[in-house]
Chains A and B, each alone.
Chain A
Amino acid sequence: MKRDWMLQKKEAIVEELGLPGDICLGEMQIHLMGSRLARVENYGKLLAYEDTGIVMQGKRCKVSVEGRGLSIAYFTKEDMEIRGCIACVKYL
């Protein structure tokens, strides 16, 4: 509870000061380009990788990108790019 309260305060300050949320709050960013390409930044680690779904760990949640024929175009410390036929993006 204390943690949630702290988080809420932090979010309020960031919003009030107009600071970028992804840098200050460490939120994961997902950019989708149609249904063929997804660029993911600020993720923690890769939890699962299959050609039908990729699961990543963010700071506060998990994200699953599901589809068919998924491959990782590049995978670095900062970001990664997922290509293939993306059906949906789920927050777990």
Chain B
Amino acid sequence: MTRWLIYLQGFLRIQIRASATERFLNVCRNHRMVLWDIEKKEQTCLLNILLKDYLSLLPIVRKTKPGVVILKRVGLPFFIAFMRKKSVFFSGLMIAVAFWVASSLFVWNIRIEGNLEVSTDVMKSFLVEEGIRIGIPKSKVDIEQLEKALRNTFPQIVWTSARMDGTSLSIFIKENETGEFRLEEPFMEDTAFDIVSDCEGMIVSMIVRSGVPRVKVGDTIKEDMVLVEGKIPIYQEDGSIREYMLVRSDADILVERQRQFSARVPFQYLKQVYTGREKQSYALRIGEKVYFDRLEDAFFVQEQIVTQRRPEVFESLSIPIYFLTRTQREYQNVLETHTEEEAGTLLAEKLSLFLDGLEEKGVQIIQKDVRIETSMDAWVLYGTFLVREQITGFKIGESNNR
């Protein structure tokens, strides 16, 4: 503590002649000056003295003639004097510090993770509607309200978590993976919900947990047919129906049905052949505004790729300053013809994508019948698949009267 007080006042390390040491020290002592770290060298004596005491040394110096030489200046007064000479540097430093401090009070980055069905653009549009965008003060972000609004607006989202990491707003979501979708209307106590088929087929398995089944295993069903009714009759002693209990039907129903698929690859197609000529330009993006951007096309037919990168400092601080690189590459459209082998490969890729999609949804493929035919101008793949899949359709029952 004493060291800090001394630093704040400022002190000097001075050297005096050895012959004048005792007299000088006694006179300083009589003037109530504090001296410290006094060391005797051969011809000199070194000591520390406070700046304010040094400034009142003049009469003492005249009296004792010690031959004072200043060796070192330490303390805040000297630092301030030094700063005055480098005022531009230090004002720049102060402005930079103020900038970092001020910018840490705003949201400069919004990160969304975990979204599959709900695209990032849709999420960002939703956030803008909620008043959350890059550049808003952190104090205006209500995390709880945001999480609630996300769950209410997107039925696919089953879990959401939002938090502020420095100047970055991170939103993590988890979507419903089973493929079932939530009812558009909230579950109401006096409402019956029926399970309705969304396709034609034959029932191969049925486990009913709630509701009255209207079909059984082996039945052939049509689209929009009620499979499980949410209206359970309650009978009186004489066998007549006293009232109906309205429930939300719950059942696992597996249906065997046919799915069709077709894909097309034309004989001729336009192939992009690059000429090798390209041009690059650079721009600066701050927030949503772009500066020094070259907007005109360099070539008649071209492909344009814009990459943006953020310097590492801004990356850690999440300030939206990006350097854009715009690359324009010239190409020519050349008419090419697919060989039979190429067409087969492309069709196989499309078929594979379709089958992967079915697999993700948990659809079991029992039989497949795939053939490739040629039409006037293309190869066409037709596929018929016998599949087993879950019924997922719900709707509000027609009669909700008790």
- Taking A47-B22, A49-B45 as given, write out 4 further A-B residue pairs in contact, using a Cβ cutoff of 8 Å, ordered by the A residue number: A49-B25, A74-B36, A75-B34, A75-B47
Rounded to whole Å, the gap between the CB of A39 and the closest CB of chain B is 14
Rounded to whole Å, the gap between the CB of B71 and the closest CB of chain A is 16
Is A42 positioned at the interface, with any CB of B under 8 Å from its CB?
A: no
Q: What's the dominant secondary structure at chain A's contact region?
A: strand
CB within 8 Å of B: which A43-92 residues: 45-51, 70-77
Cβ of A73 and Cβ of B32 under 8 Å apart? no
Q: Which residues of the other chain, B, contact A77 by a CB distance below 8 angstroms?
A: 29-30, 32
> A76 vs B47: C-alpha distance in the bound complex, in angstroms?
13
> A71 vs B37: C-alpha distance in the bound complex, in angstroms?
7
The 9 A-B pairs with the shortest beta carbon distances in the complex, nearest first, are A72-B38, A74-B36, A75-B35, A45-B26, A51-B40, A71-B39, A46-B22, A76-B34, A77-B32
Is B21 positioned at the interface, with any CB of A under 8 Å from its CB?
A: yes
Q: Which residues of the other chain, B, contact A45 by a CB distance below 8 angstroms?
A: 26, 29
> Can you give 14 A-B contacts (C-beta < 8 A)?
A45-B29, A46-B26, A49-B25, A49-B38, A49-B40, A49-B45, A51-B39, A71-B38, A74-B37, A75-B29, A75-B35, A75-B47, A76-B34, A77-B32
**Most chain A C-beta atoms within 10 Å of own C-beta, residue among B32, B37, B38:** B38
Q: Which residues of the other chain, A, contact B37 by a CB distance below 8 angstroms?
A: 71, 73-74
Q: Which residues of the other chain, B, contact A72 by a CB distance below 8 angstroms?
A: 35-36, 38
> A76 vs B34: C-alpha distance in the bound complex, in angstroms?
5
Q: Which residues of the other chain, B, contact A74 by a CB distance below 8 angstroms?
A: 34-37
Number of interface residues of A (CB under 8 A): 15
A interface residues with partner B (beta carbon < 8 Å): 45-51, 70-77
Number of interface residues of B (CB under 8 A): 17
> A47 vs B29: C-alpha distance in the bound complex, in angstroms?
13
Cβ of B21 and Cβ of A73 under 8 Å apart? no
Given contacts A71-B40, A77-B30, contact A49 B35 (CB under 8 A): no
Cβ of B22 and Cβ of A75 under 8 Å apart? no
Q: Which residues of the other chain, A, contact B36 by a CB distance below 8 angstroms?
A: 72-75
**Most chain A C-beta atoms within 10 Å of own C-beta, residue among B22, B28, B30, B39:** B22
CB within 8 Å of A: which B22-80 residues: 22, 25-26, 28-30, 32, 34-40, 45, 47
Cβ of B29 and Cβ of A76 under 8 Å apart? yes
Rounded to whole Å, the gap between the CB of B38 and the closest CB of chain A is 4
> A73 vs B39: C-alpha distance in the bound complex, in angstroms?
9
> A17 vs B24: C-alpha distance in the bound complex, in angstroms?
40
Rounded to whole Å, the gap between the CB of B349 and the closest CB of chain A is 86
Rounded to whole Å, the gap between the CB of A70 and the closest CB of chain B is 8
A57 and chain B: residue at smallest CB distance:
B26
Q: Which residues of the other chain, A, contact B40 by a CB distance below 8 angstroms?
A: 49-51, 70-71
> A75 vs B29: C-alpha distance in the bound complex, in angstroms?
7
> A45 vs B30: C-alpha distance in the bound complex, in angstroms?
9
> A62 vs B283: C-alpha distance in the bound complex, in angstroms?
84
Q: Which residues of the other chain, B, contact A51 by a CB distance below 8 angstroms?
A: 39-40
B1-32 toward A: CB 8 Å interface, digit per residue (1/0)? 00000000000000000000110011011101
Cβ of A75 and Cβ of B32 under 8 Å apart? no
Q: Which residues of the other chain, B, contact A49 by a CB distance below 8 angstroms?
A: 21-22, 25, 38, 40, 45
Q: Which residues of the other chain, A, contact B39 by a CB distance below 8 angstroms?
A: 51, 71
> A20 vs B380: C-alpha distance in the bound complex, in angstroms?
117
> A72 vs B35: C-alpha distance in the bound complex, in angstroms?
9
CB within 8 Å of A: which B174-229 residues: none
> A89 vs B22: C-alpha distance in the bound complex, in angstroms?
19
A47 and chain B: residue at smallest CB distance:
B22
Rounded to whole Å, the gap between the CB of B42 and the closest CB of chain A is 9
> A50 vs B29: C-alpha distance in the bound complex, in angstroms?
18
**Most chain B C-beta atoms within 10 Å of own C-beta, residue among A47, A73, A74:** A74
Q: Which residues of the other chain, B, contact A46 by a CB distance below 8 angstroms?
A: 22, 25-26, 29
> A45 vs B34: C-alpha distance in the bound complex, in angstroms?
14
Rounded to whole Å, the gap between the CB of B169 and the closest CB of chain A is 57
> A74 vs B36: C-alpha distance in the bound complex, in angstroms?
4
> A16 vs B40: C-alpha distance in the bound complex, in angstroms?
44
Q: Which residues of the other chain, B, contact A73 by a CB distance below 8 angstroms?
A: 36-38
Q: Which residues of the other chain, A, contact B32 by a CB distance below 8 angstroms?
A: 76-77
> A28 vs B21: C-alpha distance in the bound complex, in angstroms?
22
Rounded to whole Å, the gap between the CB of A86 and the closest CB of chain B is 15
> A75 vs B38: C-alpha distance in the bound complex, in angstroms?
8
